Structure 1
Amino acid sequence: MTKTIAFETQTKALIDDLKSVCANYGLGNDGNEFKIITQVFLYKFLNDKFVYEVKKIDPNIAKAENWEEALSAYSTDDYEMLMMQLSESTARINPHHFISSLFKRQNEPKFADIFDNTLLDIAKENSDIFSVITDGGEKIVLFENISKYVTDKRDEFCKAIINKLIGFSFEHIFEEKFDFYAAIFEYLIKDYNSNSGGKYAEYFTPHAVAKVMAKCLVPEDVSNVTCYDPAAGSGSLLMNLAHEIGEDECTIYTQDISQKSSNLLRLNLILNDLVHSIPNVVKGNTISEPYHKDDKGKLETFDYIVSNPPFKLDFSDYRDDLDSKENKERFFAGIPKIPNKQKESMAIYLLFLQHIIFSLKDNGKAAMVVPTGFITAQSGIDKAIRQKLVDEKMLAGAVSMPSNIFASTSANVSIIFIDKENKGDVVLIDASNLGTTIKEGKNQKTVLSPEEEDIIINTFNTKEPIDDFSVVVTCDDIKSKNYSLSAGQYFEVKIDYVDITQNEFVQKMESFDKELEVLFNESRLIQIEISKNLTGLVYAGSEK
């Protein structure tokens, strides 16, 4: 544990150092700073991962006093043979592309070009495995020439970057597990993954929400499954789900309209040993142009789906195109109309939820974050979706989370759980009173303790009714409540009865009589006083 904390501290210090370099060259809080930080971090990670894996393959490299020289001494054929033994999750890097090689060349003319060309060469060499694709089929490779973002002193900037990278090694952290990388990833992107006005899930889903979703979806062992998020953002939900299933037991598929989010998701997949899923990461509009399809051109279906999509977004430009014969089954409950005012308030989450239901296999499971108003809406598309989930017995449960669980929004949220094979009762949980409120920046945020997270998870998975917290109801019970999924509407109003003797009853009644008599007397005195004051006011008025 002490070593893990030390590694985490050192890794965060490297991130801070890289941000400091950007600030010194006028890029602090610049729109391009995150591109530089994330790509340089990834270059360092892939460089050290390559060395780590090579040392495991060839003991002579591990024992060598200088591993760079030992690798450079390989013949071309021997080096190629070594590369072939690497797993697909390890990027192929040539000796002249090592960070140590760039460090030795930092005083050469036009070093920025050397630095940029190194990144571009690595990206090209590894484009088949490490590229994100667009819905039009274009590849978004690993790296770009990052020095272009510096207006002057490009060589000095790249030298400063290399000098920060050379004194640190990731080799110690490759045995670390999910929780370590989750913390590092969150720290890495914390300044760059803001709400951005709520556009396409760019914000980071809190760990508590991701943990609850994953552990309620996967209460037991599964293997060889597909996982999907149609609004993946930076992928925190999928990382938690994959970790719960087992990274080697699942394949991830995503789509997100934001290139920024897709690049962050790729980084997250690399950190969490899910490189095999990178070719399934798609930058594109899921609602208007869903990408993942089978051989017959039909939308692909998945074993598990998780999502925290944008709740409201102006999609008026393509709203009418969605209202087509091809989409009738996918958007079974309807497409939100374009409001006369505030087009940005269009409830796009309703389309994502319908898309998720349509994209589930016959035995699939899903969990999605929705605004809490969804679970009680009395009419419209909201209710039509709930009605389908209940009538077709696909609803597994709903959890109302505490307010301010997202620091970036005060909107109350709930989690809807879907299980196409759920033939039993439904679990409804009101967790709105859990958590501790803390200050995060200018916002209030509610934080759940690990024990509170476990209470939600265990209650859901065991289907345990707890007074004023959870209920277990049938689909018929839900129908009788106008399809409401609010746990509070099902809580029993309890009256406590206490056995007392006749004498105790008489004494209590006499006590009540005395209290009432005192109150009546006080009331009469107040009325007399009011009457006197009114009489005085009338008399004073007549005098005038």
Structure 2
Amino acid sequence: MSEDHKKQLETHLWNIANELRGKMDADEFRDYILGFIFFKYLSEKLHLYADEILKHDNISFTDLDADNAKHVELLEAVKEESISKLGYFLYPNELFSQIAKRGNSQSVDSSNFIIEDLTAILNNIEKSTMGTEAEDDFGNLFEDLNLNSTKLGKSVDARNTLIAKVLAHLDKIDFNLQNSESDVLGDAYEYLIAQFASGAGKKAGEFYTPQQVSKVLAKLVTLDKTKIKSVYDPTCGSSSLLLRVSKEANVAYFYGQELNRTTYNLARMNMILHDVHYKRFDIRQENTLEKPQHFDQTFEAIVANPPFSAKWSANDLFLGDERFSHYGKLAPKSKADYAFVQHMLYHLDDQGTMAVVLPHGALFRGGAEGHIREFIIKEKNYLDAVIGLPANIFYGTSIPTCILVYKKCRVHDKDILFIDASEHYEKIKTQNYLTEEHVLKIIDTYRERQDVDKYAYVASLDEVAENDYNLNIPRYVDTFEEEEPVNLDQVSEDLKNLETDIAETDKAISGYCQELNIKTPF
């Protein structure tokens, strides 16, 4: 997308946000905007597909009328094909453009009241998938779009006017779906998610990983690969991390699990919005640690940014769970970081790669975490690399973080690579971020796997054992900068000269005071 087009897109999106700003919190109007974007996408995709089907009949989809007996057979044929291919169906008068036009109509002959129709249409999209393979992927997708919420306006007319304005703004955006190389929709979606994350404080971590961090994770698990059979994220948020992997390699199937219901809906929307066919993704909603949904499946690539030091039950019953039973101890109730690691390792394919973001404390905390960390390194030898990231690069928290890379069949099985990228970042206002140069330096260093002065160190397993399996990066990567030696003779001479200067200055001030016939201030 050109920079001009991108700026126009962002302007339209910002105008839409401003229509809702002040009426509700950022994460609430996020749900409305992204829901309407999704409706527009489904409409335009269906419209294009229907026109392609009807091309041989020399008729456009919007020319068909469900009330016209002559058109009923054609509509049924299009419906059958659409549900089979796309997973859903909309009638011509239910398309986004038709609703937007009706809602902003100034004609005295037609009503511009659209709330009831729009609510029915969103329900019809879900109903059209019932009894089909797409049912689970489309079910309750629009449940967060409460069009009768008083936050949209105190009266029905006020709500209708606001919704119509939002649809009008969105209708001006050309998603350019005909161009397979264009990802206007994906850019719009990611722009909005990033904007909401930056203003949503701690809630941001529920649905967004900064793009450059996602890029590092994605590149790590796809290194030297062009195809990935399957990728899994056990805390998938809005699926942005899963989709990032597909930008580095062709992914056959996507798998994810998400606890938050609203974010789970966003995850499924995001998949469909990025043209991932409903048969190619399996996103589930549940607590990953307590109620895992993918059971005995293994995955070639696993990426995750779990909630930092989240709480979990740590019930003793889990000691009989295959994900945790080999370790002899469970991660503490107050810090589930290693519970996520254990869960992910269980699902990692023997030839796969896993990259997970954790708080720095996971590198050195003792107790049960120290025991699990040692078991993974000493008994399993799965840890391949430790990468320290800068502080303050995640929205809502300033703590420093790290990336741990795991493989079950390691090529370099005699050592562990440590990279200290904590001081390599740019700053915008109060937020730190990784540039493309920083990302590539991390990846190139991981690929080369050699010592780099004050940046990377390849530590033998014996050395890690000598450190009691403490992975704190400064133990391995020496970033100490020697200061220039102080010349004490020069310092002494400078002090003498300073005293002389002060005495001369005092004498001059005393003279001025005598001339002015005032007391000397010293």
The two structures share one fold, judged by TM-score above 0.5: yes
Write out per-residue CA displacement over residues 279-311 of structure 1, whole angstroms, 9 at most, x where no aligned residue.
611111111111113xxxxx3222211111112
Report % sequence identity: 22
Pick aligned residue for 1:420 from 408, 415, 422: 408
Q: CA offset at residue 90 of structure 1?
A: 6.7
| Structure 2 residue 95 is matched with structure 1 residue 93 | no
Contact persistence 2:419–2:477 (CA under 8 A): no
Which residue pairs with 1:502 in the alignment?
none
Q: Choose the corresponding residue for 1:218, options 218, 222, 227.
A: 222
Counterpart in 1 of 2:32?
36
CA distance in structure 2 between the aligned counterparts of 1:399 and 1:93, rounded to whole angstroms: 48
Indicate which of 282, 285, 289 corresponds to 1:280. Answer: 282
From the superposition, tell whether residues 116 and 272 of structure 1 become closer, same or farther in structure 2 (CA, over 3 Å).
Answer: same
Deviation at 1:114, TM superposition (A): 1.1
Select 2:433's aligned residue among 434, 440, 447. Answer: 447
1:238 corresponds, among 221, 236, 242, to 242
Identify the residue that residue 482 of structure 1 maps to in structure 2.
468
SS class of match (1:250): strand
Of the structure 1 ranges 151-160 and 252-261, higher mean CA displacement relative to structure 2 is found in 151-160
Distance 2:294 2:199 in 1: 26
Greater CA drift, 279-288 or 29-38: 29-38
1:53: which partner in 2? 49
Q: 1:177 to 1:464 in 2, by over 3 A?
A: farther
Gaps of 5+ in 2: 104-109, 497-522
Q: Would you say the 8 A contact 2:126–2:140 is kept in 1?
A: no
Say whether residues 1:436 and 2:422 are aligned partners: no
Aligned length: 472
Structure 1, gaps ≥5 residues long: 294-298, 339-345, 497-511, 523-544
Structure 2 partner of 1:464: 450
Q: Which residue is equivalent to 1:354? A: 342
Q: 2-side partners of 1:374 and 1:78: how far apart?
A: 61
Letter in 1 for 2:343: H
Residue deviations 1:165-203 (CA, integer Å, cap 9, x gap): 44443235753456x655422322245446977579414
- Contact residue 255 and residue 291 of structure 1 kept, 8 A: yes
Structure 1 pair 393/330, CA: closer, same or farther in 2 (3 Å)?
Answer: same
Question: Could you tell me whether the CA contact under 8 Å between 2:233 and 2:255 is conserved in 1?
Answer: yes
Is the contact between residue 252 and residue 280 of structure 2 (CA under 8 Å) also seen in structure 1? no
CA distance in 1, matches of 2:26, 2:422: 38
SS at match of 1:75: helix
Map Cα deviations across residues 184-228 of structure 1 (whole Å, 9 max, x no partner): 223222454469775794142111111111111111225351211
How far did residue 360 of structure 1 move? 1.3
Picking from 308, 321, 331, the partner of 2:305 is: 308
> In structure 2, do the counterparts of structure 1 residues 240 and 122 end up closer, same or farther at CA, with 3 Å as the change threshold?
same
Matched, 1:401 2:404: no
**Equivalent AA in structure 2 for residue 155 of structure 1:** N
Note if contact 1:129-1:278 (Cα within 8 Å) is conserved in structure 2: no
Tell me the CA shift for residue 319 of structure 1: 3.5
Q: Deviations over 1:110-161 (max 9, x none)?
A: 531112111111122135465557xxxx943445663221442243334334
Q: Deviations over 1:454-479 (max 9, x none)?
A: 01111102213211111223323322
Q: Which residue of 2 aligns with 1:148?
A: 148
382-391 or 236-245: bigger deviation:
382-391
Q: Is the 8 A contact 1:333 1:381 kept in 2?
A: no
The answer to whether the Cα contact below 8 Å between 2:353 and 2:406 also exists between their aligned partners in 1 is: yes
- Residue 366 of structure 1 is matched in structure 2 by 354
Residues 224 and 382 of structure 1: is their aligned pair in 2 closer, same or farther, counting only changes over 3 Å? Answer: same
Deviation at 1:364, TM superposition (A): 2.2
1:335-355 deviation digits (Å, cap 9, x = unpaired): 3445xxxxxxx1122211111
1:69-80 equivalent positions in 2, closer than 5 A: 69=63, 75-80=71-76
Cα distance change, pair 321–233 in 1 and its aligned pair in 2 (3 A): farther
Do structure 1's residue 171 and structure 2's residue 172 form an aligned pair? no
Equivalent AA in structure 2 for residue 148 of structure 1: N
From 162, 174, 184, the equivalent of 2:188 is 184
RMSD: 3.6
1:14-60, CA deviations, whole angstroms, 9 ceiling, x for partnerless residues?
3233323334xx73437642322111111111112222334455556
Q: 1:235 to 1:284 in 2, by over 3 A?
A: same
Residue equivalent to 2:114: 111
Residue 426 of structure 1 aligns to a residue whose secondary structure is strand
Q: Letter of the 2:345 partner, please give it.
A: I
Report if the CA contact (8 A) 2:362-2:369 is conserved. no
TM-score, normalization: structure 2? Answer: 0.79
Q: Which residue of 2 aligns with 1:12?
A: 10
Q: Distance in 2 between matches of 1:177 and 1:163?
A: 22
Deviation at 1:235, TM superposition (A): 1.8
Match of 1:207 in 2: 211
Q: SS of the counterpart of 2:327?
A: coil
User: Distance between the aligned counterparts of 1:170 and 1:183, measured in 2?
Assistant: 10
Cα pair 1:396 1:422 within 8 Å, conserved:
yes
1:269 counterpart residue number: 271
Q: What does the per-residue CA deviation read over 1:498-520, in whole Å, with 9 as the maximum and x for residues that have no partner?
A: xxxxxxxxxxxxxx9x969x99x
Shift of 1:323: 4.0
From 51, 62, 67, give the equivalent of 1:68: 62
Letter in 2 for 1:364: G
Quote how far apart the aligned CAs of 1:398 are.
1.1
| Equivalent pair of 1:200/1:309 in contact (CA under 8 Å) | no
Paired residue type of 1:366: M
TM-score by length of 1: 0.76
